[in-house]
Amino acid sequence: MDNHSIINPILWAKTKNVNLAHLLYSIFWKVQKNIFLWKNGNICNLPYIRILCWNTFIKSLRMYDIIIIGWGAAGLFCSIFAPKNLRKIILEKNGSLGKKVILSGGERCNVTNIDITPEDDYFGENIKAIHSLLAKFSNYDMIDWVEKHGISTCVEDRGRVILESGKSKDLLDLLMRESTKNATEIRTRLDIAKIEKTDGIFRIHGNDGSVVEGKNLVIATGGKSFSQVGTDGFGYTIAKEFDIEMTDPYRGLCGMVTREDLSELSGSTLDLTLSLFDGKKLLYDEKGAFLFTHTGLSGPIVFNAVIKLGEHLRKLGIKESQQKGYFEEHITIRLTFNEESMTKKVKNFFELDDMKNDAVFHLADLKSWAEAKVTGGGVKLSELSNTFESKKVEHLYFIGEVLDLTGKTGGFNLQQAWATGYVCGQSFGK
Ligand SMILES: Cc1cc2nc3c(=O)[nH]c(=O)nc-3n(C[C@H](O)[C@H](O)[C@H](O)COP(=O)(O)OP(=O)(O)OC[C@H]3O[C@@H](n4cnc5c(N)ncnc54)[C@H](O)[C@@H]3O)c2cc1C
């Protein structure tokens, strides 16, 4: 325990970033110590006051105003925009932090997208929510924030906003600095065993026997794809435990495996139009960058088509275990080639000529969860207020990729994470 002075307690509290209970305790402790030292020459004469002080002190030390689980884009932004005077802690299972921020945009950080059309660029059951979200924290707000802190950005193909330095780490360092400056504690390598809420307090039990207590709990644990960096669907487990409704998570932004063997074309990149069909029904089409792989199809337009497909299957109620069968029977992909972007190899392989400029494939499967860059589906927005607080469980929040609000490739998913983190963090000051 500090043997701190009470000459200027406000200043002391500010520098140490403690809450009111902590401050009151230190004043109380000093006063009673001085009175009884003066009166009796020792400080043991008021056991009740000492026990009371001690309990208040211990509780204030243990109790956080905000516990954020997950040190990714959303959790970080929440911690940066939550009021400074609130005690905040981020709990993270990994040793290293912000891995997906680093990986984004091929490690050049695709911060956001310059051109967002909500209905075209996002998927989810309550897609309209993205309008009010972006009105509160838009792509331009994000660019301003980054540039205001001395990091330049530039716009590349498909409206992707990238760091001019080409180093994601610059943004990660900034985020860490701002989070720390806003008095956020971080605890890493925490393996959470259990979360409970009793008497209005959330208790996070670690497998090491530790307990972290807080008044508000923010779940920012991402989705369940790309689990090699720590995202294993923990947020969905918490949602289930608290009886919060979700749409089934599905793979987004990954490649497709075709029934046809295209390995001969592996590595060929083209600009073309991809059209995705369920039977005769056109589900999606987009023109853009495309790549043949050993097992099938890849590239931005394929990734986007995969999210659209995931949403379509969700609406049809097709479970993951039934997907492969459904793909084989119903789903086809048509590629329409154009002369400007064509290689001899591709032309010969598909025997393209003036009369024939397309080829049709049958979808056998999607690439694995480990390869999917995002998870579609998740906690339903209809379960949450506009500050992302659960309508069923007071003071429990969900932000970022754990939500049923998923973007195309190109900066839309990070933008969602920044915006939901910002809105949630700010709401604690209101
Ligand atoms: C390879 C790759 C490239 C990408 N590129 C782009 C891109 O260019 N542009 C774009 O917009 N998006 C991109 N994305 C997607 C984007 O990075 C994510 O949508 C976004 O980072 C999600 O942020 P988040 O904070 O919600 O979750 P995450 O960034 O996933 O963070 C969640 C955090 O929670 C932690 N966590 C999980 N479970 C627990 C637990 N039980 N206890 C404690 N901590 C836990 C995780 O370790 C992780 O640190 C990419 C994703 C990948 C995988």
Q: Which of 21-30, 161-170, 236-245, 401-410 has the lowest mean pLDDT?
A: 21-30
Taking the centre of ligand 1 as the mean of its atom positions, its distance from the CA of residue 116, in whole angstroms, is 20
Separation of 353 CA from ligand 1 center, angstroms?
A: 44
CA 387 to chain centre: 15
- Any ligand 1 atom below 6 A from CB of 400: yes
Distance 73 CA to ligand 1 centre (A): 7
| 94 in contact with ligand 1, CB cutoff 6 A | yes
Lowest mean pLDDT among 14-23, 46-55, 327-336, 346-355: 14-23
Regarding the beta carbon of 417 and ligand 1, being less than 6 Å apart is answered yes
Q: For a ligand 1 pocket test, name from 175, 225, 236, 373 the mutation site with the most ligand atoms within 8 angstroms of its C-beta.
A: 373
User: Which of 110, 157, 221, 420 is the best mutation target for the ligand 1 pocket, counting ligand atoms within 8 Å of the beta carbon and taking the most?
Assistant: 221
| pLDDT exceeds cutoff 50 at 1 | no
Mean pLDDT of the chain: 89
Q: What percent of the chain has pLDDT over 70?
A: 86
Instruction: Report whether 242 contacts 373 (CB < 8 A).
Output: no
pLDDT over 80 (residue 14): no
Task: Give 230's contacts (C-beta < 8 A, 6+ positions apart).
Answer: 92, 93, 94, 99, 222
Q: Is the pLDDT reported for residue 30 higher than 60? A: no
Structural contact between residues 383 and 403, judged by C-beta atoms closer than 8 angstroms: no
Q: What is the pTM of this model?
A: 0.87
At residue 97 the predicted structure's pLDDT band, cuts being 50, 70 and 90, is: confident
> Cα separation of 287 and 179, whole Å?
40
The CA radius of gyration of the chain, in Å to the nearest whole number, is 26
Judged against a pLDDT cut of 60, whether residue 407 lies above it is answered with: yes
Residue 98 has pLDDT above 70, yes or no: yes
- φ/ψ region of 243 (left if φ > 0, alpha if ψ in -120 to 50, else beta) reads left
How many other C-beta atoms can be found within 10 angstroms of the C-beta atom of residue 125?
17
CA distance 110 to 410: 7
CA distance 137 to 133: 6
Taking the centre of ligand 1 as the mean of its atom positions, its distance from the CA of residue 41, in whole angstroms, is 59
| Sign (positive or negative) of CA dihedral 64, 66, 72, 73 | negative
The CA 191 to ligand 1 mean position distance, Å, reads 18
pLDDT band at 340 (very low <50, low <70, confident <90, very high): confident
Query: How many contiguous H segments (helices) and E segments (strands) does the chain have?
Result: 14, 20
Q: What number is the average pLDDT over the span 304-326?
A: 95
Instruction: Assess whether the C-beta atom of 92 lies below 6 angstroms from ligand 1.
Output: yes
The yes-or-no verdict on residue 262 having pLDDT over 90 is yes
Q: How far is the CA of 417 from the centre of ligand 1 (A)?
A: 9
> 93 versus 50: which is more confidently predicted?
93
Q: Is the predicted pLDDT of residue 173 greater than 50, yes or no?
A: yes
